[in-house]
Structure 1
Amino acid sequence: MTATLDQQATVFAQSFQRLLENVATAIVGKEHSIRLALTCLISGGHLLLEDNPGTGKTALAKAIAASMEGEHKRIQFTPDLLPSDVTGMRVYNPRTQQFEFHQGPVFGTVVLADEINRASPKTQSALLEAMEEGRVSIDGETHALGTPFMVIATQNPIEQAGTYRLPEAQLDRFLMRTMLGYPDHNAAMRLLAEAGTRDRSAAVQPVITRRGIAQLNQLADSVHVDPAILSYILRIAEASRVHPAVRLGVSVRGCLAYVRCVRTWAMSKGRSFVRPDDVMELALPVLGHRMLLDAQAKYVGTTEADVIQQLLQQTPPPQHGGAG
């Protein structure tokens, strides 16, 4: 049984690497961020990108969708955007004399919610409900979203005027939060040399099917997580709840999300079991947005990354966690 699972882990890692290299043709020099995004996709979660304009967020969403023969949709969030502009609405057809449902842009494989914090809380909630439930309800009728379904939401960390901050309970709906950032010098030079290519994501070809993504998700669920690793994750979460700089610590839902992510992360490295290193590597993208810092801590410049580093330093990893 162990040998079979190890073989499955090898196949998983090979498929993951093909996906990674394929998306990397559109997003140059950002392998780690792409790996996080693909881990989020295969784990069945959604991604929050907090980044400056022009870093490739739209290209990332388009490249991921194209890599799995999926449909990419983009929603530009604005203050006047209505929930029906996201989910769709029933429209009267005079020919049939009946109301027909017209799907909104949320019915896609990879949906880019650009500048999600610019829309009203009511519109934000419509999208977040679809993310959580995997379906939308219009006039008492339920319409299921496709599988896989991933939302990549973006927030501009610079311009906050006229925005509606996402509440902590809604932030918790995102499996991960990360950023792309600007490319390094060599990657930027390559992009400038190929400036004639306007849309690099348009050339991305599929390397896996949507059904294949679902199969990878099932494989990741079989990854072994030693009780010592589970205890390690729980101790990190418990430490966050009593940290002097934290007003609201990591919830149980956050711990469950953590376990899902480290399983996928471990199998993407070709392993059928989770190591403490996997837990450490994913601590910031999985837990950072799930903590609410104290106002005084923010005033003195403390960040979520600082707190995560302190939590990992004061929470010793298990000495024997791993293959079991």
Structure 2
Amino acid sequence: MENRSILLVKRPEGMPNQDNFKLITKDVPEIGDGEVLIRTIYLSVDPYMRGRMNGVKTYADPFELNEVLSGGVVGKVVESRNEKFQIGDIIEGRLSWADYAVSKGDNIRKIDPSLAPISTAVGVVGMPGLTAYFGFLDIGKPKQGETVVVSGAAGAVGSTVGQIAKIKGCYVVGIAGTAEKCKYLKEELGFDQVINYKTDNVKQKLKEHCPNGVDIYFDNVGGEISDAVIRRINYQSRIILCGQISAYNLQSIDSGPRVQGQLIQKSALMQGFIVGDFAKQHREGLKQLGQWVSEGSIKYRENVIEGLENTPDAFIGLFRGENTGKQLVKVNNE
């Protein structure tokens, strides 16, 4: 059997392209004592991976050149020398961008296919869902009737944030980049209002849709959109910094309005976070997210691209706004 994998061979300058990646083929690795062999079914691509490609350590180690890339994977155990995992188990973990991966079992968890489709383990009932859950609830501390604005609202995290906000009785405004995405947010997910940042006057629409100001802003994009939202914040508002996708491919430091004065005047909180900050609470979050999905309180979409070889295209598509919901690569037709 052959094992294809994808390497990072050149650090991106600006927007990533195909030249940054290389597909290679080797033999399927053999496992040792305590290890399992996993066949990839679904592979997740996420915006945070772009920062790891720069070669600079942030909250995570950078990807090394000429090494196999890694990310969230849902797979099936096809060989095991670890008593905790049996052949046929479906697992989720941080594994290689490859057809097959080896694990010692410490970086994977079993998932129950009867609770939800297995793809959700790297989506709404996985890292993106947990990011939305803890960022919004623990930092945002929503109260019924408050106004919530979500940028990047049609992505895996943003769409979940908006729905949790509705569960908590908030008034929700989503910002996205196409008419189709805006329609999805309002008609299927129940957002109260939507703004198409490519065709609408964002400042005017925020004034129109948030007449009482903004109490919670869940920021996935940064840039001029966030500048406009922060101008509308209320007294003791909360600004949750989850992502800055507008700046990930910039080749110089982003600059813009300085918000410190606004935060002081409004006694506002601005806090960044990563999902790992809440690692000890992940089990709680997964249980609640699974319940909301099973009862239909949270809906989700997946944008699935077929074939390991198309993983770079799927990743690049994140920065072109091509996905609605979670971006996935289906590697194997299990």
Q: Do the two structures share a fold, i.e. TM-score over 0.5?
A: no
The structure richer in helix per residue is: 1
With normalisation by structure 2, the TM-score equals 0.23
For normalisation by structure 1, the TM-score amounts to 0.23
Higher share of residues assigned strand? 2
